[in-house]
C-alpha cells in the first residue's frame, strides 16, 4: 500500500489532535536565542508520519528557523 494511503486511512481523531498540538508546540511560540540546545523529539511522533509533524520535527533540528513560512496558505 502506498505510504500516502497508509497515512490517509490510519489517522484517528485523537492522533490528529495530538499532531495539531505537537505542530504548535514545536513550531510556534516565543523563540529565545539563549542556549538553544535542541533535541529531536521521540520516535513516536515521527512514526505517525504526517507532514505536519515531519515538518515540526525538522524544525527541532533548526531551532532558529523563522515560522513565517508556515503561517499562511502555501
Partner 1 sequence: MRLLLHAVTTTEPAALPPVGLRGQPLMVVRHAEMSAYASCFDAPVEHFGRADLLAHHDIVSSLSAQIDVLPARFPTWLADEDALRAELERRQADFGAALERVRGRVEIAVTVMWTDEPDDQRAPEAPTPGRKYLLGRQQAFTGSDKRRARGRQLAAELARLVSDDLVEIRHQVCPSPSVALSSAVLVPRASAENVRKRITRTEHDVRILINGPWPPYTFADVV
51 binds partner 1 (CB under 8 A): yes
- Crossing angle of the two packed helices 13-27 and 51-61, in degrees rounded to 10: 30
CA atoms within 13 A on the CB side of 59: 22
74 binds partner 1 (CB under 8 A): yes
42 binds partner 1 (CB under 8 A): yes
User: With contact defined as beta carbons under 8 Å apart, do 65 and 59 qualify?
Assistant: yes
CB of 39 to partner 1, least distance (A): 5
Please give the residue ranges that form the binding site for partner 1 (CB under 8 A).
2, 4-5, 7-8, 11, 13, 16-18, 20-45, 50-52, 55, 63, 66-67, 70-74
Amino acid at each position: 500500500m502506498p505510504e500516502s494511503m497508509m497515512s490517509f486511512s490510519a489517522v484517528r481523531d485523537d492522533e490528529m489532535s495530538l499532531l495539531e498540538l505537537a505542530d504548535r508546540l514545536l513550531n510556534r511560540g516565543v523563540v529565545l536565542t539563549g542556549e538553544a540546545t535542541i533535541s529531536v523529539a521521540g520516535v513516536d511522533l515521527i512514526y505517525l508520519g504526517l507532514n505536519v509533524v515531519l515538518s515540526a520535527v525538522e524544525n527541532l533540528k533548526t531551532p532558529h528557523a523563522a515560522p513565517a513560512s508556515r503561517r499562511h496558505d502555501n
